[in-house]
Amino acid sequence: MTARTLINVPAKARRGEIIEIKTLIAHPMETGYRVGLNGALIPRDIITNFRCTYDGEEIFRAEFSRAIAANPFLTFFAVATKTGTITFEWTGDNGFAATEQAPITVE
């Protein structure tokens, strides 16, 4: 199963420019504190880690807690150094893993 993602990276940037990157991934982020219809706790199911690499080099990393809202949204920044690909990786409970890529052209 692949999770739906929304990624916003500018297609073009000047060398050295600081670009804003926005990511959104569809995920319930079940906290593990809610009670289901049968009275039992719904087990925790969250995304725990996010990593963003630019041509293989890590530029941003985050560890999520249970307190991140459903469909985790994240905005951060990067320096546009050269034309290449920006890779996004999410990993979480129950073997959840998602990878997305976005190309960027640097002039």
Partner 1 sequence: MKQRPQDRTEQMGATRRDFLERTACLASGIAFMSVAATRSSRATPETMTAAIRKTVGEAPIRKGKVMIDVPPLVENGNTVPVSVSVDSPMTASDYVKSIHLFNEKNPQPYLIDAYFSPRSGKAALSTRIKLADAQKIVAVAQLSDGSFWSDEADVIVTIAACVEDLQ
Contact residues for partner 1 (CB under 8 A)?
Answer: 18-19, 31, 33-37, 42, 54, 57-70, 72-79, 81
- Shortest distance, CB of residue 57 to partner 1, whole angstroms? 6
Phi and psi (nearest 5°) for 94?
55, 35
Nearer to partner 1 by Cβ, of 81 and 100: the residue is 81
Pick 31 or 96: Cβ nearer partner 1: 31
CA distance 98 to 101: 10
CB of 88 to partner 1, least distance (A): 14
Give least dist CB 95 to partner 1, A.
22
Q: Which two tokens stand for residue 77?
A: 């920044």
Burial class (CB in 10 A: 0-12, 13-18, 19+), 43: exposed
